[in-house]
Amino acid sequence: MAYKQMANVYDRLMESAPYDAWLEFTKYIFKEYGKSVQKIADLGCGTGEITKRLAMEDYQVVGVDYSSDMLAYAEQKCSNAGLKVQWLNQDLKELQGLGDLDAAISYCDVINYITEENDLTSVFQGVADSLKEDGLFVFDVHSIHQVENNYVNQTFADVLEDASYIWFCHQGEVPGEMFHELTFFQSQEDDTYVRFDETHHQRTYEPNFYINLLKRTGFKNIKVHGDFQQIDEFDLEHAERIFFSAEKGKDS
């Protein structure tokens, strides 16, 4: 299962991830919409790096993830920091137990793991059902440009002091689809290494696909941003990460 063993090394491999940029972008979006936000769900929270940062900003946060292993790391991390966070081990396609949220976020291309339109519809509808009226949904995805020019048919590798990985990215059968084949080596106390392998499947769509899906599942006032830019005009052709934000409710 994806992320089951990878949880052990995930934080070390993601040390350069722009977690602070995600936090600042989130606060910018809240301000842009003029929202007073208290209760937030972090959907696909992983090991809780963004969850932790939100809790440190005094938001009331619920961390949701399908991987119990990732959640265990997230819970320990926030507990060690003295932060109170609610954790839910759930598939995003079957959200339940959430309600009256001021906002829901989903970053680090979590939405790209929802590869089929009907499943994306279930996720977006579940988010809408969990938000209060005019609540915000903010998420990001890889752009088609990023997938086709920087990922598919590429090989990546890194060697850390106690872990290493090799990552092959293969093109899928449809535009925006890719398969990641990852091999990890983690050092042990007896100077041996343990190998484990994971395969991840992602797909991204053109921005208008997500915009139309948001409208169909009960969202309005949709804004699109690129690469953490706090402006709504950007070079869509070359943007690598695209952000969507929307309010729950139908346009009048």
Averaged pLDDT, 171-198: 89
Please, what's the b/e burial string for 20-54 (b: 16 or more CB within 10 A of its CB; e: otherwise)?
Answer: eebbebbeebbeebeeebebbbbbbbbbbbbbbbb
Counting beta carbons within 10 angstroms of the beta carbon of residue 93, is it exposed (0 to 12), middle (13 to 18) or buried (19 or more)?
middle
| Res 4 pLDDT > 90 | no
Instruction: Quickly tell me which residue has 């309010």 as its tokens.
Output: 247
What whole-number distance in Å separates Cα of residue 180 and Cα of residue 121?
Answer: 24
Whether the Cβ atoms of residue 57 and residue 30 lie closer than 8 Å to each other? no
Evaluate whether 6-143+205-248 and 146-203 have a shared fold.
no
Report the percentage of the chain scoring pLDDT > 90.
78
Confidence of residue 236 (pLDDT cuts 50, 70, 90): confident
Confidence of residue 188 (pLDDT cuts 50, 70, 90): confident
Residue 217's nearest CA partner among 151, 124, 114, 83 is: 124
Report the percentage of the chain scoring pLDDT > 70.
96
| Res 122 pLDDT > 50 | yes
Provide the pLDDT for residue 9. 73
Query: What is 146-203's CATH topology?
Result: N-terminal domain of TfIIb (2.20.25)
Question: DSSP H helical segments within the chain, as ranges?
Answer: 10-13, 19-32, 49-56, 68-80, 117-130, 144-146, 207-216
pLDDT, tens digit (0-9, with 9 covering 90-100), for 142-160: 999 999 999 999 999 988 8
| Res 11 pLDDT > 90 | no
Provide the pLDDT for residue 1. 38
Strand arrangement, sheet containing 60-65: 86-89, 60-65, 39-43, 101-106, 131-142, 241-248, 219-226
pLDDT, tens digit (0-9, with 9 covering 90-100), for 38-50: 999 999 999 999 9
Residue 139's nearest CA partner among 67, 225, 217, 68 is: 225
Whether the Cβ atoms of residue 252 and residue 221 lie closer than 8 Å to each other? no
| Res 234 pLDDT > 90 | no
Confidence of residue 28 (pLDDT cuts 50, 70, 90): very high
**Between 233 and 55, where is the model more confident?**
55
Provide the pLDDT for residue 233. 75
SS3 136: strand
Confidence of residue 6 (pLDDT cuts 50, 70, 90): low
6-143+205-248 is classed CATH 3.90.950.10: no
Provide the pLDDT for residue 110. 97
Provide the pLDDT for residue 5. 56
Token pair of 190, please? 């007896």
What whole-number distance in Å separates Cα of residue 4 and Cα of residue 10?
Answer: 10
What whole-number distance in Å separates Cα of residue 120 and Cα of residue 132?
Answer: 20
Sequence ranges of the domains in the chain = 6-143+205-248, 146-203
Phi, psi of 236 (to 5 degrees): -60, -35
Averaged pLDDT, 26-44: 96
pLDDT, tens digit (0-9, with 9 covering 90-100), for 81-113: 999 999 999 999 999 999 999 999 999 999 999
